[in-house]
Chain A
Amino acid sequence: MNVLIYTTPTCPYCNMAKDFFKSKNVEYKEINVAADENAAKEMVDKSHQMGVPVVDINGTIIVGFNRPEMEKALGL
């Protein structure tokens, strides 16, 4: 399972998504797009939009903190 989350440090919905992963013991890699312009571009290319969080679960792209979609992609 390859889980990425694109975030900004001040985004509460990013924190909610990370808390959700933690509560399900899902390991994830966090990419702070505020600190890395290339990562921000990668996120926009992947999700075709400019809002955080963006979650990439094995290639399934989910925009925003969307618990049902995240559960589906994780097979929970």
Chain B
Amino acid sequence: MIYDLIIVGGGPAGIAAGIYAARKKIKTLLITDSFGGQSITSADVQNFIGIKSISGWELAKKLEEHLRNFEGESIEILDFDKVSKIKKKNGNFLVFTESVKSFESKTILMACGSRRRKLGVPGEKEFDGKGVAYCSTCDAPIFKNKIVAVVGGGNAGLESVIDLSPYAKEIYLLEYAEEVKGDPITIEKIAENPKVKIITMVEVLEVLGKDSVTGIKYKDRKNNEIKELPLEGIFIEIGWVPNSGIINGLVSLNKKNEIIVDHKTQVSSLPGIWAAGDIADVLYKQNNISMGDAIKAVLNIYDYLKKKKD
């Protein structure tokens, strides 16, 4: 059995692609370990067009439900699994999964997004779960009355500060650059909070601790002084790294390891492989954009498959 299309990933891009592929009756398999993408950990999504306010988890459920509505004849869904490798085979592609299954397809849409960037400093791994945390929506209540820091002043970092506000005693927001970069509407909200102290020009050098986190060592980039900050928890929100390793060697990647695509069609450097969402070299990483880009890709895949048949 050869699929027309395998969609790798179940975030907004993968789901949008799946729905369009099913409606075009493209013989499709979607493979994902979970649905909803990065936003699942967001406590409140307010910019998903058409919905005023929704938790990331509820949004994921809605997206999955919409996709499942088409599950059956045209689109099959393999969930709780993950693609581990993609290889070429006689003009088609072979897709291998972590549960040691393999599938053949004429085309591939890479929509498996990105994963959390780690600081990569001493102590981070050692104290992971022992004060170092990556999901404030999940773990904020466990840091009740504690002194914590959020590393990263983008929107995700600002949201973490908001998640922690009802629980933590003091919250430091640490930013590498000269100023925080998140949306002004969110910055204003946290600046009013007396619990929050913003420190910019911070380069974290080490996570300090014994049995659990006791602080961090950092370089104050304003004067190159090495300083220590006593802390009981650190939430890391410094961006994302594309999950492009599984396709390395087949398609061209940019310096950030994003898949380089033609922005008219989302096709990669290798005919037969498309990419959409945060794994592609799009300038703005947004749910709404990922979905539109994935739809572009599927419409182009539809034309490609039709031409191939003729």
A residues sitting closer than 8 Å to B (CB atoms) are 8, 10-16, 33-34, 37, 40, 44, 48-53, 63, 67
Contact = CB atoms under 8 A, between A and B. Distances in A.
A50 B138 contact: no
B129 A49 contact: yes
B259 interface: no
A7 B32 CA distance: 24
B138 A8 contact: yes
Contacts of A51: 129, 133, 135, 138-139, 142
Contacts of A50: 129-131, 133, 139, 142-143, 212, 233
A16 to B, nearest CB: 6
Contacts of A34: 141-142
Q: Which of B135, B140, B142, B143 has the most CB atoms of chain A within a 10 A radius of its CB?
A: B142
A40 B142 contact: yes
Interface stretch (B54-62, B173-181, B223-231, B262-270): B54-62
26 contacts: A8-B138, A8-B139, A10-B43, A10-B55, A10-B138, A11-B135, A12-B57, A12-B137, A12-B138, A13-B135, A16-B34, A33-B141, A40-B142, A40-B144, A44-B142, A48-B129, A49-B128, A50-B129, A50-B142, A50-B143, A50-B212, A50-B233, A51-B138, A52-B138, A53-B138, A67-B80
Contacts of A37: 144
B138 A14 contact: yes
A50 to B, nearest CB: 5
B156 to A, nearest CB: 15
Contacts, number: 64
Interface residues of B, number: 27
Contacts of B257: none
Interface string B72-96: 0000000010000000000000000
A13 B141 contact: no
A67 to B, nearest CB: 6
A48 to B, nearest CB: 8
Given A8-B142, A34-B141, A52-B138, 9 more contacts: A10-B43, A12-B60, A13-B138, A15-B57, A40-B144, A50-B139, A50-B212, A51-B129, A51-B139
A64 B141 CA distance: 16
B99 to A, nearest CB: 9
Interface string B122-156: 00000011110101011111111000000000000
B138 A11 contact: yes
Contacts of B34: 16
A34 to B, nearest CB: 3
Contacts of B7: none
Nearest to B211: A48
